[in-house]
Amino acid sequence: MSQAQPVIAIYPGSFDPITRGHEDIARRTLRIADRLYVAVAYTATQAKKSLFTVEERVGIIREVFAGDDRVEAVAFRGLMVDFARDRGARFVIRGLRAVSDFEYELQLAQMNRELWEELETVFLAPELEYSFLSSSLVREVAGLGGDISRFVSPPVMKRLRAKLGG
């Protein structure tokens, strides 16, 4: 009798920092995948000013998902499709907050399929309460002293306070 191959997914992004919206997408991914790599890219696909280093982000994600051995936070360099192939992943998970996200995400998905036709992209919409949430908004509000406790987990809040003061 043969064992079924585990379903492995990659959730790539910058996660600077990871928000409750990201967590929602990651946890719901585990409904369709046995294992999830939350993959922090060393090379950003969009020009952004980072608050946390890649290593710090991986550490924060590990804290957030501590206790769930189905989720592994990792950093990667190079093409995400190569990373996915090396990890045995067949799915890329992408969150769509609004229609404005779709055009860019569709282009990425199509390019990834051109680079490796066996890789599928699955788009998930976050829960409504997180549909407006982005890492850049969290950084901005936190930097101006606003309360972001509803938008990030306690480990993230702790690291933001340490980084930004307060």
pLDDT (tens digit per residue) in 97-134: 887 789 899 999 999 999 999 999 999 999 999 999 99
* CB distance 35 to 8 below 8 Å: yes
Would the pLDDT of 3 be above 80?
no
Instruction: Please state whether beta strands 8-13 and 91-95 pair in parallel, antiparallel, or not at all (unpaired).
Output: parallel
- Give mean pLDDT, residues 38-65: 89
Give the pLDDT band of residue 47 (cuts 50, 70, 90).
low
* CB distance 22 to 57 below 8 Å: no
Distance CA 138, CA 130 (A): 12
State the maximum Cα–Cα separation within the chain, in Å, rounded to a whole number.
Answer: 59
Query: What local confidence, expressed as pLDDT, does residue 97 receive?
Result: 86
Beta strand extents in 18-146 (DSSP E only): 35-41, 71-76, 91-95, 120-124
Query: What local confidence, expressed as pLDDT, does residue 54 receive?
Result: 96
Residue 86 has a CB neighbour count (10 Å cut-off) of 10
Distance CA 159, CA 57 (A): 10
Task: List, by residue number, the catalytic residues.
Answer: 22, 48, 97, 135
Provide the 8-state DSSP code for 135: H
Across the chain, mean pLDDT equals 93
Domains and CATH numbers, the chain: 8-164 (3.40.50.620)
- Give mean pLDDT, residues 20-40: 97
